[in-house]
Homo-oligomer: A and B are copies of this chain.
């Protein structure tokens, strides 16, 4: 059980970022992608350059201990600085923790999920968009709201009504044999699983409203832990599970 100093900027300002990694047979899944995103977060938040070799070593040791489950990596700017002001020479805090693999994800992949529409909408902040920072109060409010709905998860729009993500996963859409994912340049988190799909498949980034999503042939959620999950239903709109499965089989999915 790790302890963190209460003056840590991660606690006081959410001044940091994180990633959650699937661990299978003692190995880190899509580790290069996670490293890439950690690097990106560090750069966007003016952190010093991360020591990725040492981090990788520690995470590989943790993965062997976990064997099967989830490794979470949290990196904060540590202590110091006056108020919000950045310390001159930050001593980063790195926290590794493990948890069990969410058991329901296997079921989600096979049977698909139902989504309700979230009443909570995401605000725009281009400087933080795409990043998995420790400022996640919008997601906490989204989960609070989702718990009042009769569905597996929620579809989340931004304040302008564009579809962005689910409570904790990216959205992928297939329509007329073309693949689309929402534009995350104003809000949302760019997932490592999505980035990996984008590397091997032609996926168009597009602003999309609800009508566009409803008119899709298939809709999916995806993230590093759940993988690719077909959506059976959004609000009252049904989607064919078998069609979603057939279309998904055409995607190149690499570990």
Which residues from chain A sit less than 8 Å from chain B, CB to CB? 1-15, 18, 45-46, 74, 76-77, 81-86, 95, 97, 102, 120, 122-128, 133-144, 147, 159, 167-168, 187
Contact = CB atoms under 8 A, between A and B. Distances in A.
A13 B140 contact: yes
25 contacts: A1-B5, A3-B3, A3-B6, A4-B4, A11-B74, A11-B134, A12-B74, A13-B134, A13-B135, A13-B139, A14-B14, A14-B136, A15-B136, A45-B137, A45-B140, A86-B140, A86-B143, A86-B147, A123-B123, A123-B126, A123-B187, A125-B159, A127-B138, A128-B137, A128-B138
A23 to B, nearest CB: 16
Given A143-B84, A147-B86, A18 B12 contact: yes
A167 B11 contact: no
A120 B125 CA distance: 10
B120 A123 contact: no
Contact of A140 (B11, B15, B123, B167): B15
Contacts of A167: 84
A57 to B, nearest CB: 20
B135 A14 contact: yes
A1 B4 CA distance: 10
Given A4-B11, A13-B136, A122-B125, 5 more contacts: A3-B6, A4-B8, A11-B134, A15-B137, A84-B136
Nearest to A18: B12
Nearest to A8: B11
B6 A5 contact: no
Contacts of A12: 18, 74, 134, 136
A75 to B, nearest CB: 12
Which of A18, A82, A137 has the largest number of chain B CB atoms within 10 A? A137
A80 B126 CA distance: 30
Which 10 residue pairs across A and B have the least CB separation, nearest first?
A14-B14, A123-B125, A2-B6, A13-B136, A135-B135, A3-B3, A84-B139, A84-B143, A85-B143, A11-B11
A219 to B, nearest CB: 21
Given A14-B13, A14-B14, A15-B140, A124 B3 contact: no
A97 B7 contact: yes
Nearest to A128: B137
Contacts of A128: 123, 137-138
A12 B93 CA distance: 13
